[in-house]
Amino acid sequence: MDFKTTKHDLEEAFTLIVNQIEEGSLPDVATANRFSRLAGMMHQLSDETWMEEAEDFSHLAGQFLNAVKKHDLESCVMLVESLQDAQSFCHRTFRE
């Protein structure tokens, strides 16, 4: 999968997740799985200037998936905030 498609799919999955969190509901496992897989793909497609951040992000996405599987809504909320912070940091720092 190319970078653009990966990013588009990542955005689609993350929007669903953020909406579910904002409604106060536990995100569904299928979407969390997809999101985690896409975060891993983004890491594979990253270039060396932001590869470490992409690895951290993929790790966080894996923790988020685990929290969903454990029905741990409180951890899900905190992890989604961390994912949003990581996204803003990266886009601010590495996007031209």
Q: Interface with ligand HEM by CB under 6 A: which residues?
A: 4, 7, 10-11, 14, 50, 53-54, 57, 83, 86-87, 90-91, 94-95
Residue (4 or 24) nearer to ligand HEM, CB:
4
Residue (55 or 72) nearer to ligand HEM, CB:
55
Contact yes or no for 90/47 (Cβ under 8 A): no
Q: From CA 51, how far away is CA 48, in angstroms rounded?
A: 5
| Cα angle 93-2-51, degrees, rounded to a multiple of 5 | 35
Comparing every residue's Cβ against ligand HEM, the nearest one is 90
Contact yes or no for 1/10 (Cβ under 8 A): no
Residue (78 or 86) nearer to ligand HEM, CB:
86
Residue 6 beta carbon to ligand HEM: minimum distance, rounded to whole angstroms = 9
Q: From CA 2, how far away is CA 81, in angstroms rounded?
A: 27
